[in-house]
């Protein structure tokens, strides 16, 4: 018997939930391809180590951009590799797959995601929306007649949804999230310090000292890169307040999108959200001070989910079980 699986197909990472086992795979959404032969050389963590370090004929490709498939063949190769690695197929049977997407995708993008999952070895493929699935994974009971609000800050998109009775009442999705923050840091260092760093280094800076709020006693970090004028390697020290200023505009855009979602709500549901607060999930929820930043902007309590990186993958599993129980 094949075991059903849930896939969080993220711009930055792919997480897979296997029925009865929980989240068993979490790898970067990166594929290394040989340009001369079009052969896939490495997938996931192994390919991520090659980012920015490959010779001319090897490309490290991120096949998802802004939460949707930008390279279909490579997405299919990546998913097939991950599904085969898990060994979930039965002797004669294939697993059912639940996969997630941002709320604002087009019908063509939706079909591409389903098709990639089918080609990777899915029997039946179900697609649901990321913030709804994240809410379930974060432990919110979205099937009650009460409003629940989730902000899911991923790599490519920030998805905001207000849910009631098991469905999305209002949603906003903007293609502004973790990847944009990395670019903000790259641009800031080049502009203010004439230092050129790659997106991978920028992500490390964001994780180590990134902050949504200025601090009286900011953390510092040594950053290595290339001097923009002389072209020589250089090391500088940056502090968390500099990174806060680099990220400020992007975070304000996410807060504005959440504000827009709140402004469209029926009054009863708005009252529920004021009472119950907003659940933050996704990798962006790990940014220092992001809960307070959003709470100040939205004037509503904001909480960070217990394991924000796993919520979507866990939610796919819970939703699959919910569907199979209903039969």
How many separate domains does the chain show?
A: 3
**289 belongs to an annotated ligand binding site:** no
Do 57 and 115 sit in the same domain of this protein? yes
Do 67 and 160 sit in the same domain of this protein? no
**273 belongs to an annotated ligand binding site:** no
Positive/negative CA dihedral, 62, 68, 71, 75: positive
Q: How many CB atoms lie within 10 A of CB 84?
A: 12
Do 144 and 69 sit in the same domain of this protein? no
Do 183 and 167 sit in the same domain of this protein? no
Do 112 and 240 sit in the same domain of this protein? no
**264 belongs to an annotated ligand binding site:** no
Q: In whole angstroms, what is the distance from residue 2 CA to residue 50 CA?
A: 33
| pLDDT digit string, tens, across residues 149-180 | 999 999 999 999 999 999 999 999 999 999 99
Q: In whole angstroms, what is the distance from residue 248 CA to residue 113 CA?
A: 32
- Of 265, 267, 284, the closest CA to residue 131 belongs to 284
**9 belongs to an annotated ligand binding site:** no
Is 237 buried (19+), middle (13-18) or exposed (0-12) by CB count in 10 A?
A: exposed
Q: What is the CA radius of gyration of the chain?
A: 20
**155 belongs to an annotated ligand binding site:** yes
pLDDT for 263: 96
**286 belongs to an annotated ligand binding site:** yes
pLDDT for 326: 67
* Domain closes at, from 207, 227, 246: 246
Residues present in the chain in total: 327
Helix (H) or strand (E) holding 178: helix 178-193
pLDDT for 54: 72
Helix (H, G, I), strand (E, B) or coil at 111: helix
Contacts 24+ apart (CB under 8 A), 299-302: 300/149, 300/262, 300/273, 300/274, 301/277, 302/151, 302/277, 302/278
**54 belongs to an annotated ligand binding site:** no
Q: What is the CATH classification number for the domain harbouring 238?
A: 3.90.640.10
Q: What is the CATH classification number for the domain harbouring 108?
A: 3.30.420.40
Domain, as residue range, for 194:
178-246
**80 belongs to an annotated ligand binding site:** no
Measured in degrees and rounded to the nearest 5, phi and psi for residue 321 equal: -65, -40
pLDDT under 70: residue ranges of the chain: 326-327
Report the largest interatomic distance among the alpha carbons of the chain, rounded to a whole angstrom.
66
Tell me how far the alpha carbon of residue 154 is from its chain's centroid. 3
Do 65 and 108 sit in the same domain of this protein? yes
Do 148 and 285 sit in the same domain of this protein? yes
**210 belongs to an annotated ligand binding site:** no
pLDDT for 327: 60
**26 belongs to an annotated ligand binding site:** no
**284 belongs to an annotated ligand binding site:** yes
Do residues 276 and 300 make contact, with C-beta atoms less than 8 angstroms apart? no
**314 belongs to an annotated ligand binding site:** no
**20 belongs to an annotated ligand binding site:** no
Q: Which residues contact 203 (CB under 8 A, 6 or more apart)?
A: 178, 182
Do 64 and 188 sit in the same domain of this protein? no
**194 belongs to an annotated ligand binding site:** no
Q: In whole angstroms, what is the distance from residue 259 CA to residue 254 CA?
A: 9
Do 189 and 266 sit in the same domain of this protein? no
Do 225 and 279 sit in the same domain of this protein? no
Do residues 184 and 212 make contact, with C-beta atoms less than 8 angstroms apart? no
pLDDT for 2: 76
Do 232 and 263 sit in the same domain of this protein? no
């Amino acid at each position: 018997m094949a075991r059903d699986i849930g896939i969080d197909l993220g711009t930055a990472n792919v997480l897979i939930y296997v029925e009865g086992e929980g989240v068993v795979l979490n790898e970067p959404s990166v594929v290394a391809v040989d340009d001369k032969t079009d052969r896939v050389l490495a997938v996931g963590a192994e390919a991520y180590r090659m980012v920015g370090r490959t010779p001319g004929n090897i490309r490290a490709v991120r096949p998802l951009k802004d939460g949707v498939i930008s390279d279909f063949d490579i997405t299919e190769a990546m998913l097939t590799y991950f599904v085969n690695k898990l060994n979930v197929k039965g002797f004669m049977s294939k697993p059912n797959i639940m996969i997630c997407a941002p709320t604002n995708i087009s019908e063509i993008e939706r079909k591409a995601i389903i098709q990639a999952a089918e080609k990777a070895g899915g029997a039946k493929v179900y697609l649901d929306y990321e913030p709804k699935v994240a809410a379930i994974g974060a432990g919110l009971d979205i099937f009650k007649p009460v409003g629940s609000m989730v902000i899911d800050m991923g790599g490519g998109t920030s998805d905001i949804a207000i849910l009631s009775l098991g469905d999305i009442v209002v949603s906003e999705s903007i293609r502004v999230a973790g990847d944009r923050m990395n670019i903000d840091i790259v641009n800031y260092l080049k502009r203010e310090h004439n230092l050129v760093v790659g997106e991978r280094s920028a992500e490390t800076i964001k994780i180590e000292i990134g902050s949504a709020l200025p601090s009286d006693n900011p953390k510092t970090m040594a950053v290595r890169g290339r001097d923009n004028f002389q072209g020589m390697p250089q090391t500088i020290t940056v502090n968390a307040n500099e990174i806060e200023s680099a990220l400020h505009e992007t975070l304000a855009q996410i807060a504005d999108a959440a504000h827009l979602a709140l402004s469209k709500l029926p009054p009863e549901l708005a009252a529920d959200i004021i009472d119950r607060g907003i659940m933050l999930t996704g990798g962006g929820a790990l940014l220092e001070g992001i809960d307070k930043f959003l709470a100040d902007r939205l004037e509503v309590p904001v909480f960070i989910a217990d394991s924000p990186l796993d919520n979507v993958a866990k939610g796919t599993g819970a939703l699959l079980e919910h569907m199979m129980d209903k039969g």
